[in-house]
Amino acid sequence: MRKIMLIILLIISIVFDFCTYERLNDKTKLANQIFMGNLSAAKSSFGIDYSKLNEDEKTFYYLQISSTLYTAMNTLDLTSYNDIKNRNELFSAIHNLYWCMTRSDSRKAILTNRVLVYKYLSEIILNSKDEKDCQALSKLAGDLYFNRVKQF
């Protein structure tokens, strides 16, 4: 009788573990979609020609970029990208770009260099394991934050 009870409990435990694993896997997939969706939204906003927009429209897109970067930054730990080798470089790139976007006096510099930011974000979205583009974006954002980039 004990053996039968132990076997039943073991089967229940295995089924429960499998269901828990599947739910966790579904949550990770959803977090991945949210993370990449926010990076894509930020990238798209950098693809806009700001010279054709009025100040209110520029402000709208500027705030949209900031909020999508903030969401991506805070979602990273829930994604499968949290386990990649260059996770710190990926986080730093998003984090530095976010901080650059929140500084009001770096706005002109970031908009002037938006094509370069767009390029780096595109590469990161295509291959998030590429340390080179993550480091380049992180450095550019840091330089823009501290106004070390010459404006064209």
Per-residue model confidence as pLDDT tens digits over 52-63: 999 999 888 888
Amino acid 10: pLDDT: 66
Question: Is the dihedral angle over the CA atoms 125, 101, 85, 27 positive or is it negative?
Answer: negative
pLDDT in the model for residue 82: 86
Q: What is the pLDDT of residues 89-121, one digit of tens each?
A: 999 999 999 998 888 778 778 888 999 999 999
pLDDT band at 125 (very low <50, low <70, confident <90, very high): very high
In this predicted structure, what is the pLDDT of residue 150?
A: 55
Q: For residue 152, name the pLDDT band (cuts at 50, 70, 90).
A: very low
Stronger pLDDT, 35 or 7, i.e. the higher one: 35
Please state the rounded mean pLDDT for residues 116-140. Answer: 93
**Amino acid at residue number 55:** E
User: Rounded to an integer, what distance in angstroms lies between the CA atom of residue 68 and that of residue 98?
Assistant: 9
Is the pLDDT score of 21 beyond 80? no
Please give the Cα distance from 78 to 93 (Å, whole number): 17
**Per-domain residue ranges of the chain:** 2-145
Give me the DSSP letters along 91-127. HHHHHHHHHHHH-GGGHHHHHHTHHHHHHHHHHHHH-
